[in-house]
Structure 1
Amino acid sequence: MKIYIVGSVGSGKTTLARKVSAKLQVPHFETDNFVWTRHLKGDIRNEIEVRDQLLQDAIILDHWVIEGVHKDWTDPGLQVADQIIFLDFPSQKRVQRIVKRYIYQLLRIEKANYKPTFSMFLRMFKWNKYFEEQMKPEFIMKCNVYDHKLYRFQTDKEVKDWFHQIQRG
């Protein structure tokens, strides 16, 4: 099974990908980690060739879960995915999740791949707005070609029902 999960910041991509990965016992990849090499002193952006090779190395595997919000360079992953999960929650719900995540990260209840600074927190609101206004319409148009394997969820119940379905096989 190859599952690609997309959605805006705060949509629950990482949480769902971790659950699916654990349940199906398949590798989980974040597209952010193709773009960035993580360092304690600050992340370093990978060269385009490195980023693209990391994606290729992931998608040639027999089974995986990939999650992220990047577009265009990630098209090969969408093409070979068995299922594309689009977490399309209302913007206000994503805003609530961004706030909750920031608080949890500051309290060290939730792990972050980045330093949870206030400026990063504010950028997430910008990214959320940008996704809604720019990326979401583009993604919807792009995914018309993948309609046969696209699942668009707008509620937690829809996600839970799908997750129970894949658990059963």
Structure 2
Amino acid sequence: MKIQLIGASGTGKSTLGNYIAEKEQIKWIDTDDYLWKDENFSENYPVQQRLKMYHDDRETFERFIVSGSVFSWNPTGFTDRDLLVFLTLDDEQRFQRLIKREIARGGIDSLWLDEQGYQTNDFLEWCKTYYTAQTPSDIGTFAEHNYQIVHSKSPVLKLDSSQPLEILYQSIKHIIEKNPL
């Protein structure tokens, strides 16, 4: 079983990936761990180091679920997956999740009010570009995700991540069982 979850920040990729990994007793790979050296998301690993970590995981784990993408720095990464899952979520719900997460990570002082009076910070401002970025090499954008969907050799499942985790898991499990490896 090799599953990759993609979608905008705040759609629940990590939460669902961890949930499925526990249910299936398989490795959960969060691609943020390849990208960021620290929990503050302030310093990136160099691409060569990311590639080594990616290669080491691929050599070590035959079965896994991946939350996120490596496409922008490793275009051939995770192309041998059995299923690509694209998570969607209404932007209002997505930004409620993101703001809650940003407060949990950095405290209320990590946010400021934008011109419309909404809480924001640099990361949230970047999240607003998800649908407007045009280049598939723009990491974590709809352009990148759509490119992967269009070119996927594996089946693609689109799910609304506002559903309970168990429902999402069962939907994925059903597709995997329907399309045996």
TM-score, length basis structure 1: 0.77
Q: Are the aligned partners of 1:13 and 1:67 in contact in 2 as well (CA < 8 Å)? A: yes
The 2-side partners of 1:70 and 1:131 are apart by 16
Q: Are the aligned partners of 2:6 and 2:145 in contact in 1 as well (CA < 8 Å)? A: no
> Residue in 2 aligned with 1:38?
38
AA at the equivalent of 1:10: G
Paired residue secondary structure (1:6): strand
AA at the equivalent of 2:96: Q
| Residue 174 of structure 2 is aligned to residue 161 of structure 1 | no
Paired residue secondary structure (2:157): strand
Structure 1: which 5+ residue stretches go unaligned? Answer: 108-115
Shift of 1:69: 4.8
Paired residue secondary structure (1:75): coil
Structure 2: which 5+ residue stretches go unaligned? Answer: 113-119, 134-140
Q: Are the aligned partners of 2:83 and 2:156 in contact in 1 as well (CA < 8 Å)? A: yes
Q: Are the aligned partners of 2:11 and 2:88 in contact in 1 as well (CA < 8 Å)? A: yes
Paired residue secondary structure (1:54): helix
Q: 1:145 to 1:158 in 2, by over 3 A?
A: farther
Shift of 1:160: 4.5
The 2-side partners of 1:13 and 1:144 are apart by 20
1:41-80 → structure 2 map (5 Å cutoff): 43-60=42-59, 61-80=61-80
AA at the equivalent of 2:132: E
Q: What value does the CA root-mean-square deviation take over the aligned residues?
A: 3.0
> Residue in 2 aligned with 1:117?
110
Q: Which has the larger radius of gyration?
A: 2
TM-score, length basis structure 2: 0.72
Q: Are the aligned partners of 2:17 and 2:66 in contact in 1 as well (CA < 8 Å)? A: yes
Q: Are the aligned partners of 1:11 and 1:94 in contact in 2 as well (CA < 8 Å)? A: yes
The 2-side partners of 1:43 and 1:129 are apart by 19
Structure 1 residues 72-116: Cα deviation after superposition (integer angstroms, max 9, x where no partner):
224333301111111121222211111232344468xxxxxxxx9
The 2-side partners of 1:76 and 1:32 are apart by 17
**Percent of counterpart pairs with the same letter?**
19
Q: Which has the higher helix share?
A: 1
The 2-side partners of 1:34 and 1:106 are apart by 21
The 2-side partners of 1:69 and 1:125 are apart by 19
Q: 1:74 to 1:22 in 2, by over 3 A?
A: farther
The 2-side partners of 1:87 and 1:160 are apart by 14
Structure 1 residues 97-143: Cα deviation after superposition (integer angstroms, max 9, x where no partner):
11232344468xxxxxxxx9337x61332232122222213421332
The 2-side partners of 1:155 and 1:54 are apart by 28
The 1-side partners of 2:11 and 2:146 are apart by 16
Q: How many residues get paired?
A: 159
